[in-house]
Structure 1
């Protein structure tokens, strides 16, 4: 099983188009040792497979496809290596790219939970709009941990668990969460049984999610903020990270503390990194602290083979 990170930043990317925080200004000026990043998405295929499952469709999907030749096969006049799409939530930064796939010659297979389907039919009707173009072949994504597979992506199985996080701002249950607003997705290699757990939006620790992370060979999890009050301290927001569904890395009960409890053999990688997070600076003390804990930071183009 091969997992290819298409985008590793949070919404807005890095640098964000209208942001002059230390990280964004530094990477533009070339004074900061940091990699630019597009918005969070990845793709996965089985060993020897030709096509991929796209996990989230970010607003940057066209640039990500151009940067990933494996998603551009040439078996016909028009072709794609994207066999289908799995959505882990209904957020703008994980769904807007569906619009960019509208030229597909057949209905686009989309796996999502019932709450996400509701959000993308009523609050932000992407699925309805696509009905006027390629159409959507929607599959119900179970959130009880049962396994499922995508046609065209042999050798990989998936299972999902609901997360404590936040639904999209246009969701009717933004402030009254229901199971399936956000999920953590486990990808399982059919031959070896090796597992990767993916959760770019993870707001709190619970037993089921902890168990899924402990059983995974690699975890690719929420790296949005370094501190809970990061956006408040910079004057960009009045909301904490936890209040919008993201567990910060530092501090008591933070992501570093959680990841430290996982087995020593678990590979630990942060993804969905906000432009304000100092870990983007590869020379920062925060990045050095992650290294001391054996925690990596995902980048666009990173590949994880399991």
Structure 2
């Protein structure tokens, strides 16, 4: 199984268009050791020919251009993408669907009932796409023990794991959480038994998640904020990281502490907010991660399990 990081930043990307925090200002001016990043999305393949996309960020066109394997050019209109799995209904994970509207067949989109509801009512993306290429919706099961596969993505068994997090602000049930608002995904290569657990939005390590995280050869998980009050301290927002549904990395109960005992050979943080000091390659926070054998995802990161 091959994994390609198309985008590694949280919503807004890095630098964020209207932000002048030390990170964004520094990367624009070239005064810090950091690389720009687009909004988070990954693609996986079992044969290096057919690809499954996870989320469709607003930066999807640039991400496709930087990864030519998604456009094999076998016909006048073509794509290597066999399907798109949506982890939630957030704007930074779904807006890119509009950029794929020129297709001559419906987009094969895999999502839960709750995400489907949000994208037909609260933010009617699917209804808009019906005026263009259309959507072929495939329901993602979330019941314990349920798995699914995507046609054309051979030898990859997928398990969706419900996460406790908020639905998007536009959702009719924003303040009434439902199972399926947000999911993590386990990808298992049935030929090798290798497993990836992917969860770019993770509010807490709930008991039902532990078996998936303990079995994983690779953990690619929420890297949004370093501290819970990161954006408050910079005067950017009154919201805490946990308020937004994201575990901070540092401190008691943080992501570093949660990852430390897990046996995965690859531990990677993704969905990194523009304010997070781990974006700076020479920061003390990055050194802490290196000591913990935790990597920071970057656009173009590419590896196989």
Query: Could you say which TM-score interval applies, normalised by the shorter chain?
Result: over 0.9
| 1:152 alignment counterpart | 152
Q: Deviations over 1:184-225 (max 9, x none)?
A: 001111210100000000001111112111110000000000
Paired position in structure 1 for 2:256: 256
Task: Give 3-state SS (helix, strand or coil) of 1:122's partner.
Answer: helix
Give the TM-score taking structure 1 as reference length: 0.98
Contact 2:2 2:48 in 1 (8 A): no
Other-structure match for 1:60: 59
Partner Cα separation in structure 2 for residue 246 and residue 296 of structure 1? 18
- State the partner residue of 2:235: 235
Moved more, 296-305 or 149-158: 149-158
3-state secondary structure, aligned to 1:196: strand
Q: Contact (CA 8 Å) 1:49, 1:154: kept in 2 or not?
A: no
Which deviates the most, 162-171 or 290-299? Answer: 162-171
2:219 is paired with a residue whose SS is strand
Q: Does structure 1 residue 296 correspond to structure 2 residue 295? A: yes
CA offset at residue 49 of structure 1? 4.5
Contact 2:85 2:111 in 1 (8 A): yes
Query: In structure 2, what is the equivalent of residue 221 of structure 1?
Result: 221
Deviation at residue 119 of structure 1 after TM alignment: 0.4
Q: Tell me which residue corresponds to 2:207.
A: 207
Give, in whole Å, the separation in 2 of the partners of 1:225 and 1:166: 17
**Take 1:226 and 1:139, find their aligned partners in 2: how far apart are those partners?**
35
Alignment of structure 1 residues 1-306 onto 2, 5 Å: 1-46=1-46, 48-144=47-143, 145-263=145-263, 265-306=264-305
Deviation per residue, 1:31-73 (Å, 9 max, x gap): 1111110000011110x24110110000000000000010011
Give the TM-score taking structure 2 as reference length. Answer: 0.98
Structure 2 unaligned spans of 5+: none
Q: Secondary structure at the match of 2:142?
A: coil
Q: Secondary structure, in 3 states, of the residue corresponding to 1:74?
A: coil
User: Residue 3 of structure 1: SS of its match in structure 2?
Assistant: strand
Report the Cα distance in structure 2 between the residues aligned to 1:103 and 1:211, rounded to whole angstroms.
Answer: 41
Q: Secondary structure at the match of 1:232?
A: helix
Structure 1: gaps spanning 5 or more residues:
none
In the TM superposition, residue 167 of structure 1 has moved relative to its aligned partner by 1.1
Moved more, 117-126 or 154-163: 154-163
Whole-angstrom distance in 2 between the partners of 1:112 and 1:303: 25
Q: Distance in 2 between matches of 1:252 and 1:176?
A: 28
Q: CA RMSD in A?
A: 0.9
May I ask how many residue pairs the two structures share in their alignment?
304
What is the rounded CA distance, in whole Å, between the counterparts of 1:176 and 1:243 in structure 2? 15
